[in-house]
Structure 1
């Protein structure tokens, strides 16, 4: 079974209408369930994105509450969140020396590369990295990850 790593730039599409949202929902919100992993950082990043949309008026107060409820349900069911360890942070810092990334993106990339190495060691299929950030996707490809951008879904 494939495992998907979800960066916040892609994850937000599960909850708000954006380019690629329908494709991503069909990929991840299906039966039987798929394995979706991310960093613990996802919780704060998405909460921030939803709160910003509420403050800016693109998400009503009731839609914000509904979105947070749905997201919280996913935190306890859909997602498996990897902890931020000292080793992961060291890997993220090393990635920042190689790639022009923001700090949060380096944490996501470090998490995904470590998880992908664990899958390879167990002789399991590679992790599929989902992000809608060109710079991050280029770095992920350079690091040997399989990358899909929900903004540019593959043809059926």
Structure 2
């Protein structure tokens, strides 16, 4: 079973059509694929959706639908990865070595 880890920039593409949406959705076409996410990704995704609403990129209705779908998917579709001390240490090492942003690490 293929497994993938998606950050909020990938997750938002499930709910709002933008560059990369088709590619990201191709990973969920197969029910055999497992999508792992950080618990913080839900907050980050809602924040990204809110920014798009405030910029008038999406309507209030699209925003509400996306947030409702996101909540449902976090409850039923995504496997949430708990942020353990080991994961935090590994992320800090990645950030230090590669200069990636905190949530990308």
Q: What is the total number of aligned residue pairs between the two structures? A: 105
Question: Separation in 2 of the partners of 1:97 and 1:34?
Answer: 31
1:89 to partner: Cα distance: 1.2
Structure 2: state its 5+ residue gaps. none
In the other structure, the counterpart of 1:127 is none
What is the TM-score when the length of structure 2 is the normalising length?
0.90
SS of the residue aligned with 2:45? helix
SS at match of 2:5: strand
Residues 34-91 of structure 1: CA distance to partner in whole angstroms, max 9, x if unpaired? 2110111211110110011111111111111000011111101110010111221111
- The CA deviation string for residues 81-139 of structure 1, in whole angstroms up to 9 with x for no partner, is 10111221111111121011111111xxxxxxxxxxxxxxxxxxxxxxxxxxxxxxxxx
- Which range moves more in the overlay, 73-82 or 7-16? 7-16
**Structure 1 segment 7-156 matched on structure 2, within 5 A:** 7-28=7-28, 30=29, 32-106=31-105
CA RMSD in angstroms, aligned pairs only = 1.4
Larger displacement relative to structure 2 (83-92 or 41-50): 83-92
Q: d(CA) in 1 for partners of 2:27 and 2:62?
A: 23
Q: Distance in 1 between matches of 2:26 and 2:98?
A: 31
Structure 1 unpaired stretches of 5+:
107-156
**How many angstroms apart in 2 are the aligned matches of 1:103 and 1:34?**
26
User: How far did residue 31 of structure 1 move?
Assistant: 5.1
TM normalised by structure 1 equals 0.62
Contact 2:2 2:32 in 1 (8 A): no
Offset of 1:32 from its aligned partner?
Answer: 3.0
